[in-house]
Amino acid sequence: MEENMEEGQTQKGCFECCIKCLGGIPYASLIATILLYAGVALFCGCGHEALSGTVTILHNYFEVARSAGDTLDVFTMIDIFKYVIYGMAAAFFVYGILLMVEGFFTTGAIKDLYGDFKITTCGRCVSAWFIMLTYIFMLAWLGVTAFTSLPVFMYFNIWTICQNTTVVEGANLCLDLRQFGIVTIGEEKKICTGSENFFKMCESNELDLTFHLFIVALAGAGAAVIAMIHYLMVLSANWAYVKDACRMQKYEDIKSKEEQELHDIHSTRSKERLNAYT
């Protein structure tokens, strides 16, 4: 009988512990972190492969060669963009973890370990800092989204011409890379609808795959923007929470101090009455 009671108390304790742990999880920050990781993963992974596909298209069909020496050409710019993608993936992986930790602090998951006053004092400054940083990142991702839409627009034009080759048959339409600033004015790198390279490019998988990879990368950048906006709402709510908690802590301190003073006054008067009676 005693063993059954002890087993029931143990199960009850485990259940209460699980409920307490689940209650301390910052679900809003968790959703924003998952959305951020998904967006960054789509943008970085698909963007990297789309840039590699762009290099292949420029090499094989537009016959653009890499410049010798340290000249800043389109291939060097693509390599720089790839390194930027590597840095963004690592930076936002760390940033997502930091925001999750901040969410755990403000939800009070470790409140029993550190106490209310320390959490609210530190958490107020940390929340304000993260709000400012997240707002800057949101603006940066808006710029990245706008920049990513440019290759999507360019590839959409090429892909549309390839999909409507029968409509443009007989018309001599050319795609000149100088219009997009990819090569210098002195270089004439263009491909026309009647050329052999044009039909090879339209029949190849590189064009279709690269175009859709850029679309997915654009969607990933948009998801990262939504995640930043979600984080701003969460951090603003957390900042308000720690601000109210700090005010409540001050109120409790003042109330406790006044009660202690009243208790001391009553104790002093009681002692005075007792002394006067004796």
pLDDT in tens, 60-112: 888 777 777 666 788 888 999 999 999 999 999 999 999 888 887 776 544 54
Question: What is the overall mean pLDDT for the chain?
Answer: 79
> With contact defined as beta carbons under 8 Å apart, do 22 and 104 qualify?
no
pLDDT in tens, 6-31: 555 555 567 676 766 666 677 888 89
pLDDT in tens, 159-171: 888 877 656 566 6
Write down the pLDDT at residue 1. 46
Write down the pLDDT at residue 93. 94
Which stretch of DSSP H or E encloses residue 242? Answer: helix 205-277
More confident residue, 3 or 105: 105
| pLDDT mean over 242-271 | 68
| pLDDT mean over 143-152 | 94
d(C-alpha 158, C-alpha 114), whole Å: 60
CB atoms within 10 A of CB 111: 16
In terms of average pLDDT, the best of 117-121, 122-126, 195-199 is 195-199
More confident residue, 268 or 214: 214
Please spell the DSSP secondary structure of 60-101, one letter per residue.
Answer: HTS---PPSTT---HHHHHHHHHHHHHHHHHHHHHHHHHHHH
Evaluate if residue 59 carries a pLDDT over 90: no
pLDDT in tens, 179-213: 777 777 777 777 777 778 888 888 888 888 999 99
More confident residue, 166 or 229: 229
> With contact defined as beta carbons under 8 Å apart, do 100 and 33 qualify?
yes
The amino acid occupying position 170 is G
Question: 167 to each of 160, 161, 185, 193, 197, how far by Cα in Å?
Answer: 11, 9, 30, 11, 18
